[in-house]
Amino acid sequence: MSAAVQTTTAPRIAVLISGEGTNLQALLDAAAAGTIGGRVALVVSDRPQARGLERARQAGVDAVCVRPAEHTGRVAYEAALLDALLAQEPSLLVLAGFMRVLRGPVLERFAGRMLNIHPSLLPSYPGLDTHRRVLEAGERWHGATVHFVTPALDAGPRVIQYRLAVRADDTPETLAARVHVGEHIILPRAVGWFVDGRLAQRGDQAVLDGRPLAEPVTVEAGT
C-alpha cells in the first residue's frame, strides 16, 4: 500500500487539549514513527494560547480553538465542540489535558470511543491537583491512568496505568515531571490498541484482545 493511501485510510484520531500538549506530542510522534496505526487528524483546544495548537500545526495537523466565551452555556459550547470534531469524522477522541468536563452531545456521540489520560492511579485521586494531594497524603505510589470516558468524572473503565514510587524528596513539580514520562508511554499504547481494534469498551469494562480487564494493564516506572 502506498503512503498516500495509508494516510487517507488510517483511522482518524481527534485530540482535545487545553495547554502544553506534551501528551499530544507523544501521539504525534508515535503516529509519525508508525508505532500507532492511526493518525492525528484534528486537535481542538478550548484555549487559544494552548501550546499544543502550535505543536499540531507544526506536525501539519488541523488545529482549531473553540472558545467557551463565544458560546452561551455548557450545552451550546459542547454542541460547537461536537461540530468542530465531526468535521473530521474521527473514530477515536482522546482527551489529553483537556480541562473541561464533557457531559452532553460529545459524550453521547463518542461513547465507547473516548479515552482520557489522568495523572493519578485511579480510582484514587480523581479531579485536580493530584500531585500535591498525593504528597500531602503521604502516599507511597503514584502515577497515571488511561481510561474510557463516561459521565462519571475520572471513573470510566480503566485501560492502562503507569506506576511509580513516590520519593522522599519529591515535590508536586518533580512528581508531575516523573508522571509525565509515564503518560507519554501509556497514552500512545492505549491509543494504538484502540485503532488496531484490540481495545474496546463493553459496558463498565475495558476489553483488551477479547478479555475484560478486571484491573488495568500496569507499566512500572523504570521497566
Residues that bind ligand GRF (CB under 6 A): 17, 19-23, 96-97, 117-119, 144, 183
**Pick 20 or 62: Cβ nearer ligand GRF:** 20
State the catalytic residue, choosing from 118, 131, 142, 184: 118
Shortest-Cβ-distance residue relative to ligand GRF: 97
d(CA 135, CA 139): 6
Decide if 118 is catalytic.
yes
Return the closest-CA partner of residue 86 out of 109, 64, 104, 102: 109
**Pick 111 or 153: Cβ nearer ligand GRF:** 153
Instruction: Give the nearest distance from C-beta 106 to ligand GRF in angstroms.
Output: 16
Instruction: Give the nearest distance from C-beta 37 to ligand GRF in angstroms.
Output: 21
- Which burial class, exposed, middle or buried, applies to 145 when counting CB atoms under 10 A from its CB (0-12, 13-18, 19+)? buried
**Pick 21 or 157: Cβ nearer ligand GRF:** 21
Query: Cα-Cα-Cα-Cα dihedral of 112, 116, 122, 125, to 10°?
Result: -130
Instruction: Give the nearest distance from C-beta 119 to ligand GRF in angstroms.
Output: 4
Which residues make beta-bridge pairs with 114?
93
**Pick 3 or 152: Cβ nearer ligand GRF:** 152
Instruction: Give the nearest distance from C-beta 121 to ligand GRF in angstroms.
Output: 12
Tell me which residues are annotated as active site.
Answer: 118
